[in-house]
Amino acid sequence: MTVLPGKKKRSSSTRVRTKGRVIKRFVRNILLTVNIVLVIALLLAYLSVYLNPATTAFPALFGLAYPYLVAANIIMAVVWILFRKWFALISVVAIALGFGYIHNFIRFTNHGEELHHDLKVMSYNVRLFNIYEDSERNSYNKMLQLFRKEDPGILCLQEYFVKGDPAAAERKLKDGIGGNLQTHFKLVKSGLSSRYGIATLTRYPVIYRGDVVHPGSSSLTIFTDIVVDTDTFRIYNNHLQSFRLGRVEGTLLGEITDNVQDGGSMDKISGIYKSLTHGFASRALQVDRVKRHIETSPYPVIVVGDFNDTPVSYTYSRMRRGLKDAFVEAGYGAGFTYRGKYPANRIDYILYSEDIDCNDFDIVKARYSDHYPVIAYFRRAEQKAASTDQRSRRK
């Protein structure tokens, strides 16, 4: 039978179109599968806020990655929009379900700078003053300059480090900052002549010092009752359980990469997973312990420190319950406070009782540690109300 030339062309064209549709369908299915996985991961992140990691730690892994999961879902939604597909709604709805969590990472409203405050509080993880970082040995003096410049009424330090005589180190720190400072230190031995710990320094009178003990852990919590004018506040300074994935400067991504490159076994990957879940579970127990203590405080509280967990976590949710977050109330822009070799995240906080008001918050972009210092400015509620009323009258 003779086949006409026109039929050959149509048959060839049909095969090309069919092949194109198959490839397009294949790419779409791959993207859809990736999208569904990302949405499930995001939903697990939301779930991590409600599940105690001491019981079920797996969802907490996704809470740790929350900002990046949101970013990935936004990208997927944009891709589907470009393809003009309704599949974009999958990620859009998933993000919308937890939209409130975004505000714990990024604040879109600039409240403006408040010139008047009654109390300035700074919290800073100083990373052992970079004693083991050869390229940053001068960080200690730079930090002292920062403390003198900011001149906070209350300064809370985590990963404070002493080599030699603790009393001499305390005098050196106080002399370097200047002024008449009251102090509260808690140190644990980390070597023959070294100590590691936490410190609260203040220009106000201290009437009581205490601590919340975390058995079997080097994590530390101290509380200090401080009198500011006629008011007394209880300041909780915390450094909660870290993941301890290796050396201080080790990173999760680095360890996983090294294991793959060096032919590491699944046992090593499993070890990293166990370290992560152990960190989540330990922090859950610690935050429950600290929270129970906070609930017994006879004074308004200010709770600061390195929680080693994100705002999408059981740790943050439990600690914040009944308290306000200074960044959420008065901050602006991205709230990331960690700048080390892990992916950037928000893990340093200043929380406070509803009896007081925070009228400004700042993340100081000082690159002297793997954390940024955070500062909150407080004023009495009645004074803030009076100031707001005066501004309204002027208008």
Helix (H, G, I), strand (E, B) or coil at 202: strand
**Bridge partner residues of 374 (DSSP):** 123, 363
Supply the pLDDT for residue 105: 95
Q: pLDDT averaged over the chain?
A: 87
Per-residue pLDDT tens over the stretch 209-263:
999 999 989 899 999 999 999 999 999 999 999 976 554 334 444 544 454 455 5
Q: Using 50, 70 and 90 to split pLDDT, how confident is the model at 2?
A: low
Supply the pLDDT for residue 247: 43
Is the entire prediction scored with pTM above 0.75? yes
Q: Does the structure show a pLDDT above 90 at 169? A: yes
Instruction: Mean pLDDT check: name the lowest of 311-325, 333-347, 371-385.
Output: 371-385
Q: What's the mean pLDDT in 326-349?
A: 93
Instruction: Mean pLDDT check: name the lowest of 235-249, 287-301, 322-336, 357-371.
Output: 235-249
Q: Does the structure show a pLDDT above 90 at 383? A: no
Supply the pLDDT for residue 116: 77
Q: Using 50, 70 and 90 to split pLDDT, how confident is the model at 266?
A: low
Supply the pLDDT for residue 264: 54
Instruction: Mean pLDDT check: name the lowest of 120-134, 153-167, 169-183, 289-303.
Output: 120-134
Q: What's the mean pLDDT in 173-185?
A: 95
Supply the pLDDT for residue 197: 95
Q: Using 50, 70 and 90 to split pLDDT, how confident is the model at 110?
A: confident
Instruction: Mean pLDDT check: name the lowest of 179-193, 208-222, 321-335.
Output: 179-193
Q: Using 50, 70 and 90 to split pLDDT, how confident is the model at 342?
A: confident
Q: Using 50, 70 and 90 to split pLDDT, how confident is the model at 28?
A: confident
Higher pLDDT, 6 or 68: 68
Nearest Cα neighbor of 307 from 251, 354, 237 is: 237
Supply the pLDDT for residue 179: 86
Supply the pLDDT for residue 267: 64
Q: Exposure of 330 by Cβ count < 10 A (0-12 exposed, 13-18 middle, 19+ buried)? A: buried
Q: Does the structure show a pLDDT above 70 at 114? A: no
Q: Does the structure show a pLDDT above 90 at 288? A: yes
Q: Using 50, 70 and 90 to split pLDDT, how confident is the model at 361?
A: very high
Supply the pLDDT for residue 338: 95
